[in-house]
């Protein structure tokens, strides 16, 4: 039976966690801070829970340099839940801002003083003629987000600003040039997935066409960073909402993090009332998906998994202790590991075919095919078998696309990446 030290796990998620973090968490499950109770047994209303949340928020803000005008929310539902939550909340923010514009046009400053039938009629007209959500579809997860928006609102409100499959023979693996994107004039938001785990595609940098202007204007940008968060620096202020499931680079399955501009929350931008949303034909968000409610309650509106937040907090502590330069230090390591693996693949083009275009290769999810003597399925089965014998596990590609996928998350050590690179060389040489 293999020991934990014998295994280097390259699974796409839930991902490998640092052993020392797990050891500390195991003790906390039995007796947290000498309280005689395990951390999973303490009330989410306790001071222990509040302290764990506040410390994790502070450490995340420190590690990523999140400005003070952003809030950090811990939620449930995973990234898939956020496909819905972003629609509910940002459409609500759009309605609130549009309502203020209409009130000005009606010559009143207080909603109570407006003719309600006139206000609702004008709002409904604006929704029908102006509301658009833009999606950049570059892989399986952004496609799912786009489809969910259409399901919730209706396809007439959702704009497919770009679809990578149109430039890659019906498959994902490239990102179209920004000049070809068909962005709406004033969308409620522009949505993209920064790193596609299934297809191994990562945006190399923040899209220039979405950058804020000198006067601060520009689109509301939403990004799913579930699988590359904490692995590189990104311009937080260019985004209105960033969300990520914890189970790749931050912690264990069960908690989802949302980083959101406070200007999109009450009191600056209160969500419209359910009665108003009904009148103008828009869906009403479940309360547990309402950012305003979660923020107001410091992520404790409902029973949050404090144990999962604790693990995330311990991972952040370890990162901050390991890298004095914070995320920049981890980024350098991530880049070096991915370069090592890609170099090994490129050294044997007769055996390995890297799936995505070189310009958008993910540093986190390295997707490739293995072919020996014209056989792919047989070669990949042999590759996975030999890898497992060496303790290199979790390398099977996503069920929807097949192939091989090495997920190079932060918990993969440089030695683990070297071990995989050596195996890639040895397998190809002996094929």
The string of pLDDT tens digits covering residues 306-345 is 999 999 999 999 999 999 999 999 999 999 999 999 999 9
Tokens of 181: 């994107």
Q: Which CATH class is domain 56-308?
A: alpha beta
Tokens of 204: 């190399």
d(CA 188, CA 281): 16
**What residues of the chain score a pLDDT lower than 50?**
none
Using the CB atoms, write b or e for 198-213: b if 16+ within 10 Å. bbbbbbeebbeebeee
Tokens of 316: 């952040």
CATH fold, domain 324-430, is 3.90.1150
Domain assignments of the chain as residue spans, ordered by start: 56-308, 324-430
> Do the beta carbons of residue 291 and residue 240 sit within 8 Å?
no
Asked if the bond preceding 139 is cis, omega within 30° of 0, the reply is: no
Q: What backbone phi and psi angles, to 5 degrees, belong to 100?
A: -65, -40
CB atoms within 10 A of CB 101: 12
What pLDDT does 431 receive?
87
What pLDDT does 110 receive?
85
Q: What backbone phi and psi angles, to 5 degrees, belong to 42?
A: -75, 145
pLDDT digits (tens, 9 = 90+) for 71-114: 999 999 999 999 999 999 999 999 999 999 999 999 998 888 88
Instruction: Give residue 77's region: left, alpha or beta (phi > 0; psi -120 to 50).
Output: left
What pLDDT does 230 receive?
98
What pLDDT does 159 receive?
98
Q: Angle, to 10 degrees, between the axis of helix 47-64 and the axis of helix 306-322?
A: 40
Residue 146, classed as helix, strand or coil, is helix
Instruction: Identify any residues that bridge with 201 across adjacent strands, giving them in sequence order.
Output: 196, 361
Asked if the bond preceding 273 is cis, omega within 30° of 0, the reply is: no
Residue 7 class from Cβ within 10 Å (0-12 exposed, 13-18 middle, 19+ buried)?
middle
Among candidate residues 421, 416, 412, 20, the one with its CA nearest the CA of residue 231: 412
What contacts 24+ positions apart, CB below 8 Å, involve 177-185?
178/207, 178/208, 178/209, 181/136, 181/209, 183/134, 183/159, 183/209, 183/219, 184/132, 184/134, 184/159
Whole-structure pTM value: 0.97
């Amino acid at each position: 039976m293999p020991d934990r030290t014998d295994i280097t796990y390259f699974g796409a998620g839930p991902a490998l966690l640092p052993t020392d973090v797990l050891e500390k968490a195991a003790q906390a499950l039995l007796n947290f801070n000498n309280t005689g109770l395990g951390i999973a047994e303490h009330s989410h209303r306790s001071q222990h829970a509040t302290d764990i949340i506040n410390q994790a928020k502070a450490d995340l803000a420190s590690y990523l340099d999140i400005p003070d005008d952003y809030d950090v929310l811990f939620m449930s539902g995973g990234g898939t839940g956020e496909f819905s939550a972003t629609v509910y909340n940002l459409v609500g923010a759009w309605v609130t801002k549009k309502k203020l514009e209409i009130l000005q046009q009606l010559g009143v400053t207080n909603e109570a003083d407006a003719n309600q039938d006139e206000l609702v009629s004008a709002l409904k007209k604006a929704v029908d003629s102006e509301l658009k959500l833009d999606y950049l579809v570059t892989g399986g997860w952004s496609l799912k987000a786009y489809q969910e928006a259409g399901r919730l609102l209706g396809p007439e409100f959702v704009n497919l600003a770009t679809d990578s499959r149109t430039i890659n023979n019906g498959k994902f693996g490239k990102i179209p040039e920004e000049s070809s994107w068909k962005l709406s004039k004033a969308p409620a938001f522009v949505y993209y997935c920064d790193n596609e785990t299934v297809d191994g595609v990562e945006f190399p940098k923040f899209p220039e066409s979405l950058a804020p202007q000198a006067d601060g204007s520009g689109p509301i940008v939403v990004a799913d960073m579930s699988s590359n968060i904490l692995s590189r620096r990104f311009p937080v202020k260019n985004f209105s909402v960033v969300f990520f499931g914890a189970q790749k680079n931050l912690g264990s399955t069960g908690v989802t993090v949302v980083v959101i501009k406070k200007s999109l929350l009450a009191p600056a931008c209160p969500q419209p009332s359910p009665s108003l949303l009904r009148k103008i034909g828009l869906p009403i968000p479940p309360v547990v998906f309402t950012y305003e409610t979660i923020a107001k309650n410091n992520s404790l509106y409902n029973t949050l998994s404090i144990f999962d937040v604790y693990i995330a907090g311990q991972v952040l502590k370890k990162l901050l202790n390991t890298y004095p330069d914070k995320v920049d230090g981890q980024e350098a390591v991530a880049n070096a590991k991915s370069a090592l693996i890609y170099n090994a693949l490129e050294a044997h083009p007769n055996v390995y075919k890297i799936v995505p275009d070189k310009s958008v290769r993910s540093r986190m999810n390295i997707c490739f095919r293995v072919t020996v003597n014209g056989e792919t399925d047989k070669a990949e089965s042999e590759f996975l078998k030999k890898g497992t014998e060496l303790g290199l596990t979790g390398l099977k590609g996503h069920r929807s696309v097949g192939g091989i996928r090495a997920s190079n998350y932060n918990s993969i050590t440089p030695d683990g990446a070297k071990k995989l690179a050596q195996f890639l060389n040895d397998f190809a040489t002996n094929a």
